Each structure stands twice: as structure tokens, then as C-alpha cells.
Amino acid sequence: MFCQAGRFAAWRHAFLAIAPFCFLALISADAAFAAPAETAADRPTGPNVLFIAVDDLRPELGCYGHDYMHTPNIDRLAAQGTLFNRAYCQQALCNPSRASLMTGLRPDSTEVHDLRRHFRLAVPDVVTLAQHFKQHGYHAQAISKIYHAGLEDPASWNVPQMRPQAPIYIDPKIREDIRKRREALESQGIATTRGPDRKDPVTGMTLELSTRKRTPVHGPSWEAPDVADNVLTDGKTADRIIELMRECKAENKPFFLGCGFLKPHLPFVAPKRYFDLYPLEDVKLPDNRFNPKNVPQMALHNSGEFRVYSDIPDEGPIPDDRLRDALRAYRACVSYIDAQVGRLLDELDRLGLREDTVVVLWGDHGWHLGEQDLWGKMTNFEIATRVPMIISAPGQSHAGVKTDALSEFVDIYPTLCELCGLPTPEHLEGTSLVPVMNSPDRTWKNAAFSQYPRPGNFPLESRIQHMGYSMRTDRYRYTQWRDWKTGEVVARELYDYQDDPEGNVNVADDPKNAELVKQLA
């Protein structure tokens, strides 16, 4: 594993070295947007941070050019800030992606590639983004999902992270059916729940989730209950964040508040009124519902994340009517979350905090909704790795601007440090995006990097056989699949987005691209 990490780092650094500019020079020469440096007093002088994470949100939003989406509040945030049109996660899976963003380290540095391991197994003393703000006088608190569920990080927050309790499904018939099926499996000796987790013997913190084989029981992939927003978890999360903003305002307390929304993660459950925004007859499935031509099999998966739900077949073709239902439900969930974002922005305005608060909104990875004949995340394709990312800061001179500068989740940590006038930790592997926010059209980094292991949709660190390392440049995506033990390249992919905007044809083996592949490799 360490051998592989070194190879990837060397490849990444060598490629970036050919860029005709210097990041350090850009940053030092472009401090116009930086907050004043922290004083010796305990109280920070920089702005607050409202840090909004949205699970499984892809950049299919009105502000990203998808005018059929009803997202007026996220669009409003984009109009007040910088929209990063080509932002990429470091791995298209919740735990690795969030660990990289919060530590500022790439997956091979955190050694987090699955849903089981805590990053503190590999980097026990790393100071996370929220922890850094806490150490510099901010009240740091999180509601719901900032880190992957079950792998929270107590050191990051002033008070323990909490998730409001609400049912996953509202219909009692669905809940009863799940209960009966779970009991039937358990009666046969088949585990349906996770076993004991590995804990830190001193602190009791979970270091690794159980790897016990189990058969989880799911209901349908979607539900449209006719309920108020705060009957469901995300509405309750917004309620609690609003309460915290009011408390911090009343106590004159600078804050870093993490707001983790669960939808549009499966199951796609949102109040009925959001489904009504998307008439079923208007829902169209994507045109490229086929695997890319010449694609290596290890680049694909069986949409297992989607197929575990009771209304979706375990294997084989999925009927189009069920796919349209699911696509509509995903969009309804996005609009439900958009409404919660609107409530938070409205409260910032009401409290008079908007001009003293940096607002960051990000989705932890993309999500295939039929493109490449895939449903779910867990690939190195553009659909899975490209993410929504919007940053709005007080005094921003270029508000409402969309930039095509390549950016990555590891860039968020140093960006917030600079915006809030905090020192930037030396361990960070990303670069502040403040120069881009000051000058959205400027020349910037020439590649963004992601990776994904195989086999399996949900990989286990101990069972990794291959790692796909993927590089997105202005025009191309180049991916090389390496044997995890030997480092041998066993497969390659190259997608030319100028000639093939959807990435439907792998042209890595085309003789005319031999020199290009050699350069990218």
C-alpha cells in the first residue's frame, strides 16, 4: 500500500511540475481577498463559517445550467459567491471523500479507501479543518453527517456531533415489512446488522467499523410522504443549525457550524410537495445508458448500492418506469435540501450575520443516475468524481461568478484558513482557492486527482487488489489501474471531453493517442 501511495504521489507531483506557474507565488501575490491575520487575543477576528455538506449531491442544479431543477436557494448562494464548475472529490465514496476534505490529505495519505476505517488509524495526530478552527477560538459544532456515520471525530468539535432522530420511511406498512423480513433472516442465523466495532481502548472512539458479513434489509428506493419538512431528519437538522446560529449570535460567539444533510442519499425520501415539482412525464432518462466503449471491466460496478432496495431487481435489466420513478425521487430530494439551505440563508440574513459569515456548500461526490448504465457513486468517471462546490465570503468582489478552474476537495481547508485569517497547517496537500475567487479566469492548476479501489462496490482496505488513479485535465481524463501490491499498470482509460463530452469512448488504446498517454502516464 505504501509503495502505491508513493507511486501516485510521484506521478501527481511530476505532472503538476510542468504547470507554467507557481502556486506559492500566486497565493503570496494575491492576498486582496484574505481576511486580516489573527490577533494575539483568544477571540478570532475572521468571519464565521457555515459549512454545508450534502450527501450524494451531484452538480445537477439550476446554477450549474440545469434549468429543469428547482434549486432557487442554492442558486441564490451561487449568485453571492464563487461556483467551482470543475471541482472534484478525491474518492467517490462517503468516508474517503469526507476524510480527505476534513484533513486536507489525499486518500493514500489518510489510508482511508473504504467505509470502515477512521483516518486517525493512519494519522492519529492530524488536525482537522474543524479542529483547526476550534483551536483558534471558534465554537465548532456539527449536526448530522459531516464525517461518515459511525466514524465521527470528537477532537474536531467543542461538543459531540449529533444527528437528529427521525424515521427513514414514514409509511408504517413499509417499516413493518422491513421488520418482518429482518426477523425472518435473523431466525435463519443470517446477520442483518453490524457486529462490534473496533474501539480506542482509552477514549472509546470508533476506529474501525465491523466487517462482519451481514445482509442489511432495505425498503423501497423512494417514498413521497405528505409531511412537513422537519418530520424527516434533514428538516430537523436545519432546525437545529438555526438554533445554534441564534445561540452563537446571542453569545457573540464566532462559529464554525457543520450542517450535514443526508439527502439525496438513498432511499430517496422527501415530502410529497417536492415530488410535485417534477411531473413524471417530464422525467427523461439519460441517452448514454451503456458502458463506455473499450472500458476495462474493473472500472464498472453492478449498481449494487441501488439494487439492494426492495423495488429494484437484484440483477438484470431494471424496468424504465422504475428508473424514472427513482430519477424523479432523486430530484425531489435535491429540492427538499435546497429548501433547507434557503432556511439557513434566510436566518443568516435575519440575524445580521450574512456579512460576517463564509458559507461553503459541497456534495461529497457525484452519483450516476443511469449514465454509463450505472446507478450509484463508486467510480472514477466524471459523473462520480465531479462535485458541486460553492464558496461565498464577505466582501467578495467577484460574486456570482462561475469559474472553470480545476479544483479539489483538499483545497477547501487551506481556502477557509486564508478567508478567515488563520495560519495554514503545513500538512495540507491542497492549495487555497482564494486567488481564483479574486480572479476567476486566471490560469490555475492543470489537473485534479481522484482514485477508486477494486474489487467491490464497497471495498475493504484489506481486500484491495487494484487501485484506479485518475487525473482530470482541461480536456482529458486519464485513469491507470494498478496492481495494489506490485504497482504494475494493468489497464488504462482515456476520455477526450472535447470530442466526447459524455465520456462514452475509452481511447487509451487508439494508436494516435500513444504519445498523449505516454505524457499523461
| Residues tagged active-site | 94, 148
Residues 259/349, Cβ–Cβ less than 8 Å: no
Positive or negative: CA dihedral 239, 242, 247, 250: negative
Residues 452/88, Cβ–Cβ less than 8 Å: no
Secondary-structure percent of the chain, ordered helix, strand, coil, rounded to 5: 35, 20, 45
Closest alpha carbon to 348 in 434, 494, 444, 249: 249
Residues 380/468, Cβ–Cβ less than 8 Å: yes
Residue 322: exposure state from Cβ atoms within 10 A (0-12, 13-18, ≥19): middle
- Give the chain's end-to-end CA distance (angstroms, integer): 20
DSSP for 103-149?
Answer: HT--HHHHT--SSSB-GGGT-TTPPPHHHHHHHTT-EEEEEE-SSPT
Place of cell 419538512: 229
CA distances from 27 to 31, 99, 144, 435 (A): 7, 25, 34, 6
φ/ψ of 475, rounded to 5, equals -110, -30
Residue type, 374: L
Residue 301: exposure state from Cβ atoms within 10 A (0-12, 13-18, ≥19): buried
Helices (H), 251-351: 272-275, 304-307, 320-350
- The answer for 284, left when phi > 0, alpha when psi is -120 to 50, beta otherwise, is beta
CA distances from 73 to 148, 235, 264, 402, 430 (A): 26, 15, 16, 16, 29
Residues 432/417, Cβ–Cβ less than 8 Å: yes
What are the E-state strand segments in 151-264? Answer: 198-199, 206-208, 222-223, 255-261
Q: Which residues pair with 479 in a beta bridge?
A: 470, 493
Residues 241/332, Cβ–Cβ less than 8 Å: no
CA-CA distance, 310 to 214, in Å (whole number)? 17
Query: What cell does 163 get?
Result: 444527528
Q: Which residues pair with 198 in a beta bridge?
A: 208
